[in-house]
Amino acid sequence: MSSAALPPLADVLATARVVSLPLAARFRGIRVREAVVFEGPEGWTEFSPFVEYTDAEASTWLAGALDYGWRPSPSPVRETVGVNATMPAVAASEVPRILARYDGCRTVKVKVAEAGQTLADDVARVRAVREAVGPEGRVRVDANAAWNVDEAERAVHALAEFDLEYVEQPCAEVDELAQLRERIAYLDIPVAADESVRKAADPLRVARAGAADLLVIKAQPLGGVHAAREIVAQAGLPAVVSSALDTSIGLSMGVALAASLPELEYDCGLGTASLLTADVVASPLRAHEGLLRVERPRPTTADLDRVAADEDRTTWWLDRLRRCHALLQITPR
């Protein structure tokens, strides 16, 4: 979004509400997900970069929020989007409880390589998921760039017996992904890139390097639906549209992107409202029979009051939004 098209800060703040949503299980080391939601001419939108991100990185998330609130979304080519269940790095015994929160999802993304855990923990968790979904279910794993090449190769070998659909961001660097992809080629387990797209100065580098078989795309961190859609088009690789543990408003941004893509071969990671025990609308954007409908949630004042953050967190988030808006005026995305 160019600085000329940037909505005035006052227009953004006029409806901005900071929300605090408890999680059903610890995810990315947190128990509560915070976000700012606000209304633009096209509807409600969301600004929710993780708290540890710098303002420079977070400003791209704000560009994505403004894109969704102030620009019409691309026309959808499908009415529903298939989604996966997301399994946090819980003990294997907790797997059935988490999966029960997802209606009809036959694909599960399992978090692995959690700090403080072992490969044996990962194997036990993935085994429990495979047993739960049966031989016809699809199981993918996500290491969030935690392994080096040797660790990744060892882990993929240990997990290969569970018929993995793909392994997501096993290593941090593009050249590491390329090396691993060559080493495990005979196993026929594709490599997906996430952080190498959304946190990269050049989100297309991983595709040009032949270091991934598919891309995991998140709309808000990439500057919005339109920017993310262009990245998919230029990359020429299959895409999985995913979330960053968004509220139902943020999830609808991802659904709008997924619904607009000409091809969508994989279930998308947009079912994460099921990991929340509260949301910004009375009817959260949760999967039914493994599908999400293309819709745009509209919260009421009562909905937002119910999940409002406290005064200190509200001040923190609104100050952050102001700083990121100022950055977009200087360096428009």
| Residue 218 contacts residue 57 (beta carbons within 8 Å) | no
pLDDT of residue 331: 79
How distant, in Å, are the alpha carbons of 15, 38, 41, 299 from that of 9?
11, 12, 14, 21
User: Quick one: 115 and 229 in the same domain?
Assistant: yes
Region of 130 please: left (phi>0), alpha (psi -120 to 50) or beta.
alpha
User: Quick one: 102 and 236 in the same domain?
Assistant: yes
User: Quick one: 270 and 322 in the same domain?
Assistant: no
Q: Which two tokens stand for residue 35?
A: 């976000």
Domain count, the chain: 2
Which CATH number covers residue 230?
3.20.20.120
What's the pTM value of the predicted model, to 2 decimals?
Answer: 0.95
User: Quick one: 141 and 188 in the same domain?
Assistant: yes
Among the listed residues 33, 111, 125, 140, the single catalytic one is 111
Q: Can 199 be counted among the known catalytic residues?
A: no
User: Quick one: 97 and 58 in the same domain?
Assistant: no
The residue segments making up the domain with residue 185 are: 80-293
User: Quick one: 105 and 130 in the same domain?
Assistant: yes
Identify the three-state secondary structure at position 123.
Answer: helix
Q: Which two tokens stand for residue 54?
A: 């710098």
| Residue 278 contacts residue 35 (beta carbons within 8 Å) | no
Among the listed residues 101, 181, 198, 218, the single catalytic one is 218
User: Quick one: 94 and 20 in the same domain?
Assistant: no
Which CATH number covers residue 38?
3.30.390.10
User: Quick one: 111 and 225 in the same domain?
Assistant: yes
User: Quick one: 48 and 98 in the same domain?
Assistant: no
Which residues belong to the annotated binding site?
142, 168, 194
User: Quick one: 102 and 221 in the same domain?
Assistant: yes
Q: pLDDT truncated to tens, each residue of the chain (333 aa)?
A: 655 589 999 999 999 999 999 999 888 788 999 999 999 999 999 999 999 999 999 999 999 999 999 999 999 999 999 999 999 999 999 999 999 999 999 999 999 999 999 999 999 999 999 999 999 999 999 999 999 999 999 999 999 999 999 999 999 999 999 999 999 999 999 999 999 999 999 999 999 999 999 999 999 999 999 999 999 999 999 999 999 899 999 999 999 999 999 999 999 999 999 999 999 999 999 999 999 999 999 999 999 999 999 999 999 999 999 999 999 999 776
Q: Which two tokens stand for residue 144?
A: 């969030």
DSSP state of 222: G
| Residue 277 contacts residue 22 (beta carbons within 8 Å) | yes
Which residues belong to the annotated binding site for Mg(2+)?
142, 168, 194
User: Quick one: 217 and 319 in the same domain?
Assistant: no
How distant, in Å, are the alpha carbons of 39, 173, 239 from that of 229?
22, 23, 10
pLDDT of residue 88: 95
Sign of the torsion angle spanned by Cα atoms 277, 48, 260, 206: negative
Q: Can 218 be counted among the known catalytic residues?
A: yes
Q: Which two tokens stand for residue 118?
A: 């072992």
Contacts of 326 (CB under 8 A, 6+ apart): none
Order of strands across the sheet with 164-168?
A: 85-87, 107-111, 138-142, 164-168, 191-193, 214-217, 239-241
Contacts of 248 (CB under 8 A, 6+ apart): 273, 279, 280, 281, 284, 285, 297
User: Quick one: 318 and 179 in the same domain?
Assistant: no
Angle (deg, nearest 10), helices 55-70 and 311-330: 90
